[in-house]
Chain A
């Protein structure tokens, strides 16, 4: 599991996850992911285009980071979930808690709205 952070000119951060967000993958990135999400000053956009699986620990990591961002006034959105991952988000009702958009353009449009 890998985490790449891209700082945007608008003080947003794009957090790019790649690999399997299973228990082992989550343990690999969760500390850095949480820190980076908190460090975003405006928006945190989570790019999940390259994530092939999300398990329960991964879901908790995303919810925890979204909660911390919410408390800090940071808008937290997820985009690019593959079909299997999107189904997990629907099944766990994560999509009722976190804004989940199909792609980066839609995510940025949501943040501008």
Chain B
């Protein structure tokens, strides 16, 4: 984990404990730079969803799951950048599951991301990395 004035960089491998520590460090970093509690909570929620998805589903068996998370705050806006070398996955265009008509069909991941993020940009880099840039909404912005 490395911290600059406006950035916190964390390298994650599979492990729920480490992810929990990363979530809390991200929230503390954002709060320390002026983000409100809702913004910090949204960052934690999206970090868990995105990192778990990449670490547990993005890598072939025998591979070494790794996600690099950068939390950032530029004084006006804040968000998360995630990079990994897993299978290509673009959450900005992935098909949404059907709307939940019952408990059985409740979707969470991609709809959650799209509902919360104020801006979302995905790139598959030439050297084979997923790169997601996510801007969090303003503290008082209604979600959903």
Contacts and interface: CB of A to CB of B under 8 A. Distances in A.
B116 interface: yes
Contacts of B108: 56, 59-60, 92
Contact of B48 (A23, A27, A63, A92): A23
Interface residues of A, number: 29
B20 A23 contact: yes
B49 A55 contact: yes
A33 to B, nearest CB: 16
Contacts of A97: 100, 102-103, 106
A53 B20 CA distance: 11
B19 to A, nearest CB: 5
A55 B23 contact: yes
A23 B105 CA distance: 21
Contacts of A24: 16-17, 19-20
Contacts of B16: 22-24, 26-27
Interface of A: 20, 22-27, 53-57, 59-60, 63, 66-67, 70, 84, 87-88, 90-94, 96-98
